[in-house]
Each structure stands twice: as structure tokens, then as C-alpha cells.
Structure 1
Amino acid sequence: MREFQYILVSENAYQTNDLINSNISVINYLRASEVNDDELHPDAFSSYCVDYFFTTLKQDGLASYIYKTKWEIELIEITHAGLSAIGNQEYTEFFEKQIRKVKLFSKIKLDKFLNAKEGSLKDIASQLEDQQHKSFTSDLKADHENWLRNHPDLKAVTIEEMQSIITDFCNTENPLEQ
């Protein structure tokens, strides 16, 4: 199976500490080009998932993250692996706590929440919500940027080089499709 071999970012993003957003742009472009998630660089994709978790948590809360992801186990495992790799202990432990909490939640109640219209089951959402992250002293975004910056597979290139690398990858036959 083919796999994108880089965490690809623009040189500008590298210089301006915007690695997370540059990685997200590359992942979004690859996905829009019909590259499957399992063909993406695993750490690039876990970075993407961690950012989605962090952004949703900060903007909409934990219950919204659980709802929006439908608590899909593979996505949760990828996000957990990314948090662990980044090494931010507070957010990793917080996420692990949520995994345990959701596992203890009644399957019927969780399914009811995940299949309802968003925001309609406030009583269940309030049971899933956890505001502990608001008191954290660590900076997940800074830790995430540093992890990407120091990743051995990070490749910072010009936009033209980026387009060429992505085009070459997208035009490569997937051996499983032959």
C-alpha cells in the first residue's frame, strides 16, 4: 500500500510557526484528491486529528467533540496516539479520562446522544461535558508545533515543490488498485 512519506508544510509556515495549519491544508488537499486516510502519513494525520480535537474542545466543548466525531473508535485512537506523541501530559490524561468516561456511559444513552439532532439532548451533553481543560497550565498548541517542527519526517518546501510532491503522489498508482 502506498503511504505519503512526509509531514509536508510550506517554508513560510515553518518560518512563521504555522506548521499545524499548513499540515491541515496539505491533509485537506490530499483528502479532497481522494487520497484515503490510511494513505496519509500517520503522524500528519494524527496531528490533524489532535488539532480537530483541540479546536472543537476550545470552541464548542467536549460534548460537541464527542457528538461531531460520533466517538468513532479509530479516530479516537488516532487522536490519543497523537496526543501521546506530542507529549502534553495534561491533555493526554484528560483525553484518557474521557475515553474511560465514555466507555462507562450506557451504550443506549450514548447512541441516543450521537443520533439526535445536535444540541437537542442537553441533559446527556451536560453529563459528557468536562471543563477541566480550562485550568490547564500547559500549552497544547505550542507543544504540538514543537513536535511537528522536530519530527524526522517533516519536510518544509516552497509552494511549487509542495504542489509537485502532492501531484506526484496523487498520480502514483495504488498497488492495491491494480
Structure 2
Amino acid sequence: MKIEHIIVSENAFNHADPDTIVQSNISVVNLLREEGVEDDDIPEDAMMSYYLDYYLSQNNNGGFAQFVWNANWSQALNVIVKKGLEQIGAEKNLAYFIQQTAVVESLPKEELEAFLEREYFGENPTRDQLKNDSFFELDENITDLNAKWLRKHPQLKVLSVDDMYAELEILVGHPIEK
């Protein structure tokens, strides 16, 4: 069963903090996953918003190298992140992502595989090679752009928390524990 709408709470939609609507989408995606819904059945754009936040969190916590390592350099995820940055209009972040992707892809295959298999912390020359603090200098906020994009999305469904749970229970076919 393919879900057709990105679902967020009315409170999150109306909240002044842009992170609130992004987190509402993330909560719905996580809940659907917990209830056994496959990622392919969740709206592609809901997943894209979800993974843009993941990408941002990884960069904020440990830089691009951490994203590479924690995501196990997933080409499928890279496509989603690139497309997401394009769709939300994050041009500077997209340029950074493309630049850093080129650095990763220039690594010898054996070096990248060894990086992904070893411990992240401690001595790690590949991690250090992927380090690029210019991400923190970008004058562009992924969360703000993600929130604006979600708010205007044609598939967005804004519901009260009670109505949101009722809708999600219909979608998963059983009661959901709150």
C-alpha cells in the first residue's frame, strides 16, 4: 500500500521554528517504519526530507566524513540527498555535496572499503582527508529550506495530532500505541 501524502501535525505546521515541521515529518516516517511500512511505500518526498535532515545531522556532528562512514557510502542515499538539495533550492549545499562526493569517489576503492570497515575514531587518515570545514561556512540553512519546501508541498497533509494518528492507523491497518 503506497501512502500518498506527507503527513505532519498542525502544531508543527504552525510553529515558528522551521525544525518543528521537519521533525514532525521525521516522527511520522519513523512511526510508519516501526509499524512495518516499507520505505518504498512512504512518499518519496517525505523520505527525501527525512534523509536531508540525516545528512545535515551527520555533517553537523562530525563532518562529511561521518556522513560517508555512518551511511556506508550508499549510492542510493547519495542520489536522494542530491535530489533533495536540488529540490529545496540549497544551491550552496548542493555544490559542497558534489565537491565532497568527487573527493570520496577519487579515493581508491580499497581505501574507501578499508575506511568503511575500520573504526571511525582514533587514527584515521581517510577520515582526515575527507574533512572539509567549509560546510560550516555555507550561508544557507538546510533546515529552513527543507521546512519551506515541506510547507508548500502539494502532497502535504496537515492534521491535528488525534486526526494524524487516526489517519496513520488507517494506513497501517491497526491501532497504534501512543
TM-score strictly above 0.5:
yes
Aligned to 1:175: none
Equivalent residue for 1:13? 12
Give yes or no for contact 1:27–1:48 (8 Å, CA) kept in 2.
yes
What's the % identity of the aligned pairs?
29
Equivalent AA in structure 2 for residue 74 of structure 1: A
SS of match in other structure, 1:12: helix
CA distance in 2, matches of 1:121, 1:22: 38
Moved more, 118-127 or 145-154: 118-127
Contact 2:8 2:24 (C-alpha < 8 Å) held by counterparts = yes
Does 2:109 correspond to 1:110? no
Structure 2 residue ranges without an equivalent (≥5): none
User: Which structure 2 residues correspond to residues 28-177 of structure 1 after superposition, within 5 A?
Assistant: 28-171=30-173
- Return closer, same or farther for 1:88/1:171 CA change in 2, 3 Å cut-off: same
Q: 1:121 to 1:34 in 2, by over 3 A?
A: farther
User: What are the Cα deviations for residues 3-61 of structure 1, in whole angstroms up to 9, with x where unaligned?
Assistant: 21111100000110411000000000011111111111000000000000001101221
C-alpha RMSD over aligned residues: 1.3
Q: d(CA) in 2 for partners of 1:170 and 1:121? A: 46
Secondary structure of 2:37's aligned partner: coil
1:121 positional shift: 4.5
Q: Secondary structure at the match of 2:154?
A: coil
Q: Name stretches of at least 5 consecutive residues in structure 1 with no aligned partner.
A: 173-178
Give the deviation of 1:62 after TM superposition: 1.1
> TM-score, normalised to structure 2's length?
0.91
CA contact (8 A) 2:120 2:127 kept: no
Distance (whole Å) between structure 1 residues aligned to residue 117 and residue 124 of structure 2: 13
TM-score by length of structure 1 reads 0.91
Count residues with an aligned counterpart: 171
What SS class does the counterpart of residue 149 from structure 2 fall into? Answer: helix
Pairwise CA distance, 1:118: 2.2
Identify which range, 45-54 or 31-40, moves more after superposition. Answer: 31-40
